Structure 1
Amino acid sequence: MNKYIDGAVMLTSVCSLGLTTISIAESKIYEPSNNVVKDLQLERLDHSLRVNLKKTESYIAPTPIKAQPKPIPKVAINLIKEFEGFKDYAYIDTDGTPVIGYGLSRIGGIPVQIGDRISTTQADAALNTHIREIHRELEPIVQVDLSDRQLSALTSIAFNVGVESIKNSTLVQKINAQDYAGAADEFLRWDKANLQGALVQMPGLTRRRAAERQLFLSGSQSS
């Protein structure tokens, strides 16, 4: 009886040990190791990176919208045309420079030469281009906001004498000081032309400066 009992006990112990071994083996089969977990995480990360890369490659950046230039006031164009007049052939200006169209000394960056011809369409385009250049040159000089009429008056005199001539003038200084009445009177001082080395008052310039002054004043009163 003891043998059988001992045998039963021994068999039970062996069976218990076997079950324990099987249980441990099963746990090793179904429980992933740390290396497996890391491999899965790396695989997921790699997949995510590939997806994001494809999205980036397929993304097309929108074309930036260029700011449209501010329209040139018609009053500026009309004032310049009125006093410059139009000629479809090159001629010598009062200072000895060849000009054409609306008194332009350059067309498309090329100096005008006697014998050149121009159409009204070409002259209008060249005038608009030159006015835009004047506005760009005036922008860093004028420190205050101007109405369209004030800017048109200043554009007209700058077209006539050059931005370089007025950038340090009392006219611009008074504009920046917002002394608009005083600035308007400064226009009248620019009514002379250099003729053979001497400054001579010109009736055409006197009329032009009076018109520019009046336009400038009307702009300061309405702003």
Structure 2
Amino acid sequence: MKPRHQVSRAAVDLIKRFEGYRMKAAQLPDGRWTIGYGHTLTARGGASVTEQDAEALLLYDLIAVAHAVNEQTYTPLNQNQFDALVCFAFNIGLDNFIRSGVLRRINEGSLLQAACAMEMWRKADFEGERIVIDALVRRRSAEKALFLTPADGVWVAAPSPILRPKVDYDASCAVPKQTPATVMARFEGDRATIEREEGPAPILVAPADEAPSASEQAAAAVGARLEAILPDTPAPAPVVVAPLASRDDLVLPEPPVPAAAVPAAVLYEDFEETVSAPFRLTPEPVAPVTPTPVVEVVETPAPRPFVVEPTLFETATRTSPSVFNLDGFSTSEDVTLSAMDVPFTEPEAPRFGNLSLLVSLGVLGLAMFGGGVLWILTVASGPGFSQIKMFGYGASMVGAICFVVSAYLLLRKLGGPEEGDED
């Protein structure tokens, strides 16, 4: 029979340290009232309690918690493990404890994994978000330490000189992704308020004398090997490309204006306006320049002769007979053909179809004939297969007809045109 444990003084002191003493009843944000060391069952507004009575109320609340822990755990526990579970269940509630992974690990016999699973219960809902509370992190650590404390007080030596500890990456989920928030619970009259201390997140700096980790050592070894294989080479000098000048920066010289195109009076008037009076020059008369007339010579291309390419029926000049003009079609030697002189003749369709089609039809008919005969001799050879024999007879007849028709048409095509076809 599994022994039933009783709550010891260690569990009571642990709960009192983290719950805190409240002499007067205070209303929680969810509407409930609390008094003493986290007592909520009989707390009412305006009630007060002494420290001795608050401890008595705590012992009264722990009766139900200890009963639930004794009934739900099936693995033998020592007193420290039982006290740690009572503190844990008193904080998270009996409903959460029954469906928690801590109880599941304990009933599986994995006590060390159950102790590590306690640290997962470190978050709480505050101002509409679920955050990691620093007080819960410390409380879970104290409960885990009590759970792992040997009952006889004899600690087993850790084999650190023999086996060097390594980083357990599987326990990364126990490390909070955000900095735990410091939450302060204060009592103003008959109400309990919770405030978060605002401030910059602490920056964790590793000590200077700490030895490099295994990953850092491996990275340094890989870097040294790469430097030995690929020595540093001087980087090529950067190529400086001059910026392209914009359209505004490009100043194109204006084309010279011939003197004959601008009147002489206009030239001298502009010159006199730009030169001041003391330095004005007297222009010399300029002889008028008679512009030379420019005669444009437009070359007209000579007309290209219209040449008609020879066709299969006639040649371009009709000076020689065409390929198919075997009767000596006579025309004038000097007259060229035009596009209208070429007669339009439709190509003659094949008389008996394509030769390859006839050969394919013959091969198909021969195959059907042979298959039908083989079907009759093998598959339908037994008695009572008259209907199956009909299928073989039909296939052989169709094959024979196809073969005879293709052979006939092929012989006619190879024999040449008939006498009545010549005009």
TM-score range, shorter chain: 0.5 to 0.7
CA distance change for structure 1 residues 77 and 138 in 2, over 3 Å: closer, same or farther? same
User: Is the contact between residue 94 and residue 195 of structure 1 (CA under 8 Å) also seen in structure 2?
Assistant: no
Give the Cα–Cα distance (whole angstroms) in 2 for the partners of residues 199 and 94 of structure 1: 16
**One-letter code of the match for 1:124?**
E
TM-score (norm: length of structure 2): 0.34
Does residue 115 (structure 1) correspond to residue 46 (structure 2)? The answer is yes
User: 1:135-154, aligned counterparts within 5 Å?
Assistant: 135-154=66-85
Does residue 89 (structure 1) correspond to residue 20 (structure 2)? The answer is no
Does residue 178 (structure 1) correspond to residue 113 (structure 2)? The answer is no
Residue in 1 aligned with 2:63? 132
How many Å apart are 1:93 and its aligned residue? 4.1
- Give the structure with higher Rg (CA): 2
| Aligned-partner SS, 2:144 | helix
Does residue 218 (structure 1) correspond to residue 160 (structure 2)? The answer is no
**Greater relative contact order, per chain length (Cα 8 Å cut-off, separation 6+):** 1
User: Is the contact between residue 171 and residue 187 of structure 1 (CA under 8 Å) also seen in structure 2?
Assistant: yes
User: Is the contact between residue 76 and residue 155 of structure 1 (CA under 8 Å) also seen in structure 2?
Assistant: yes
Residue in 1 aligned with 2:370? none
Residue in 2 aligned with 1:12? none
In structure 1, stretches of 5+ residues that fail to align are 1-68
User: Is the contact between residue 76 and residue 153 of structure 1 (CA under 8 Å) also seen in structure 2?
Assistant: yes
Residue in 2 aligned with 1:75? 10
Give the Cα–Cα distance (whole angstroms) in 1 for the partners of residues 129 and 72 of structure 2: 29
Give the Cα–Cα distance (whole angstroms) in 2 for the partners of residues 220 and 176 of structure 1: 20
Give the Cα–Cα distance (whole angstroms) in 1 for the partners of residues 62 and 52 of structure 2: 16
Give the Cα–Cα distance (whole angstroms) in 1 for the partners of residues 117 and 100 of structure 2: 9
**One-letter code of the match for 2:93?**
G
How many Å apart are 1:71 and its aligned residue? 4.4
**One-letter code of the match for 2:144?**
R
User: Is the contact between residue 192 and residue 199 of structure 1 (CA under 8 Å) also seen in structure 2?
Assistant: yes
**One-letter code of the match for 2:27?**
I
**One-letter code of the match for 1:105?**
T
TM-score (norm: length of structure 1): 0.62
| Aligned-partner SS, 1:140 | helix
CA distance change for structure 1 residues 115 and 219 in 2, over 3 Å: closer, same or farther? farther
User: Is the contact between residue 81 and residue 102 of structure 1 (CA under 8 Å) also seen in structure 2?
Assistant: yes
| Aligned-partner SS, 1:77 | helix
Residue in 1 aligned with 2:39? 104
| Structure whose residues are more often helix by fraction | 1
User: Is the contact between residue 5 and residue 79 of structure 2 (CA under 8 Å) also seen in structure 1?
Assistant: no
Q: Which moved more, 1:194-203 or 1:205-214?
A: 194-203
Residue in 2 aligned with 1:46? none
How many Å apart are 1:153 and its aligned residue? 0.8
Q: State how many pairs are aligned.
A: 151
Deviations 1:109-163 (A, max 9, x none): x3x2232111112111111111111011222211112111111111111111111
Does residue 191 (structure 1) correspond to residue 101 (structure 2)? The answer is no
Give the Cα–Cα distance (whole angstroms) in 1 for the partners of residues 97 and 30 of structure 2: 18
| Aligned-partner SS, 2:71 | coil
| Aligned-partner SS, 1:144 | coil
| Aligned-partner SS, 1:89 | strand
**One-letter code of the match for 1:99?**
T
CA distance change for structure 1 residues 151 and 118 in 2, over 3 Å: closer, same or farther? same
User: Is the contact between residue 88 and residue 119 of structure 1 (CA under 8 Å) also seen in structure 2?
Assistant: yes
How many Å apart are 1:104 and its aligned residue? 1.0
Give the Cα–Cα distance (whole angstroms) in 1 for the partners of residues 63 and 138 of structure 2: 25
CA distance change for structure 1 residues 167 and 220 in 2, over 3 Å: closer, same or farther? farther
How many Å apart are 1:94 and its aligned residue? 6.2
Of 137, 152, 157 in structure 2, the residue corresponding to residue 206 of structure 1 is 137
CA distance change for structure 1 residues 71 and 198 in 2, over 3 Å: closer, same or farther? same
In structure 2, stretches of 5+ residues that fail to align are 155-423
Give the Cα–Cα distance (whole angstroms) in 2 for the partners of residues 202 and 91 of structure 1: 21
**One-letter code of the match for 1:212?**
E
| Aligned-partner SS, 1:146 | coil
Give the Cα–Cα distance (whole angstroms) in 2 for the partners of residues 99 and 218 of structure 1: 32
Deviations 1:20-71 (A, max 9, x none): xxxxxxxxxxxxxxxxxxxxxxxxxxxxxxxxxxxxxxxxxxxxxxxxx964
| Aligned-partner SS, 1:193 | strand
**One-letter code of the match for 1:104?**
H
